[in-house]
């Protein structure tokens, strides 16, 4: 059985998700880990400021994170699409490119 490149990539992504779960990995945020490290290094540390608003639950926090990621992906996709469209328009304006000459 021969796998295509897409199949190998899909298997790789699945492995990246499944292997940490099987190893018992805990998915904790970097903010919590940083706060724990700071508290461990300096027990008397007091933050400079406190958040204006904290989400009522982890689900709401996850929703905002997902919306932020979607908005970022939308902006990056728009920029890539616009650049691709601009390059395509310039290629059409310049006309077809001459075929490569073959050397014997």
Q: Where are the domains of the chain?
A: 5-94
Using a cut of 0.85, tell me whether the model's pTM lies above it: no
Q: How confident is the model at residue 23 (pLDDT cuts 50, 70, 90)?
A: confident
Closest CA to 40 of 50, 28, 32: 32
Mean pLDDT estimate for the chain: 86
Q: What are the pLDDT digits (tens) for 35-63? A: 888 889 998 888 888 889 888 988 998 89
Distances 54 to 5, 58, 83, 93 between C-alpha atoms, Å: 44, 10, 38, 53
């Amino acid at each position: 059985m021969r796998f295509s490149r897409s199949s190998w990539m899909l298997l790789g992504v699945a492995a990246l998700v499944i292997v940490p779960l099987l190893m018992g990995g805990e998915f904790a945020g970097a903010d919590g880990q940083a706060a724990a490290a700071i508290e461990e290094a300096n027990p008397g540390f007091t933050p400079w400021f406190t958040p204006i608003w904290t989400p009522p639950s982890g689900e709401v926090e996850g929703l905002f994170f997902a919306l932020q990621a979607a908005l970022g992906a939308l902006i990056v996709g728009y920029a890539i699409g616009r650049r691709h469209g601009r390059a395509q328009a310039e290629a059409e304006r310049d006309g077809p490119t001459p075929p490569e000459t073959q050397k014997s």
